[in-house]
Amino acid sequence: MLNEKVIKSNLKKWGFKSFDSKIHEHVNRGLENVAKDLANKFARNSRRQDGGRIVLPSEYFGVDSGKYEASASDGSNLNVTDSWIRNPLSASDPTGAITGGAAKKKFACTIKAVKDVSERISRFEFKQQHIKEVKEKFEERMTKFMNSVDRRNKNNETHLSEELFNTVRDQKQYNNLF
C-alpha cells in the first residue's frame, strides 16, 4: 500500500499541496486493480506456456533447404546518409536526456508497496519481473490520470478535492483503474 507521504510527494509534482483523505483509498485501490489485472494475465500466460518445444531441422534455414540465395537483392543495399547519423552527444549530457526536452512529470510508486499489494491480493506468485511490470503499468496509468486531473484544474487549486478527482475518475478511460 502506498502511504500518504508517497502520495503527497507525487501530487506535489502537479502542484497539489494537500488532498482529501478518500484520494488515498482511491490511489491504493488503483494499485490493487492493476496488480489483479496483471496477476490474471500472468496466470493465464503461465498455463499456456506448458506446451512442447518445436525443433526445426538445420536444413530448414541453410543452403540445403533449396530456399537459399547466395546473392542479396538490390533492395537490401543500404547506403548511409547524413540523415542516418545521430547528432553528436554533449559531454555534459551523454544520454541526450537534457537536450531532449523538458522533463515530464511522472507518478512514482515504490517496489515495496507493489510487493505488499501483490502478496495480499493474489495466490499467483509474483516474480521480480512481474512486480516491475505492475509498478510500471500503475505509474503509467496514474501519470496519465494525473495529467488529466491537472488539465481539469482550471483555477490552479493547490488542494486536490475528491470532487475534482472523481470528475476525472468517472471518465470512461479510467473505469478499470479505480
For 128-170, the pLDDT digits (tens) are 778 888 899 999 999 999 999 999 998 889 999 999 999 999 9
pLDDT score of 142 = 93
Greatest extent of the chain over all pairs of C-alpha atoms, in Å: 72
Q: For the chain, count helices (H), then strands (E).
A: 5, 2
Confidence of residue 101 (pLDDT cuts 50, 70, 90): very low
Q: Reply yes or no on whether the pLDDT at 38 is more than 90.
A: no
**Per-residue pLDDT reduced to its tens digit, 11-24:** 999 999 999 989 99
Please provide the DSSP assignment of 81-92 as one string: -GGGSPPPPPSS
pLDDT of residue 119: 79
Q: With bands split at pLDDT 50, 70 and 90, how would you rate the model's confidence at 41? A: confident
Residue 160 dihedral angles phi and psi, to the nearest 5°: -85, 105
81-100 average pLDDT score: 54
Rounded mean pLDDT, 28-44: 85
Take residue 96 and report the three cell numbers written for it.
541526450
In which band, very low, low, confident or very high, does the pLDDT at 102 lie, cut at 50, 70 and 90? very low
Residue 69: predicted pLDDT:
59
Q: What is the pTM of this model?
A: 0.64
- Domain boundary assignment for the chain: 1-46+105-178
- Measured CA to CA, the distance from residue 5 to residue 14 in angstroms comes to 15
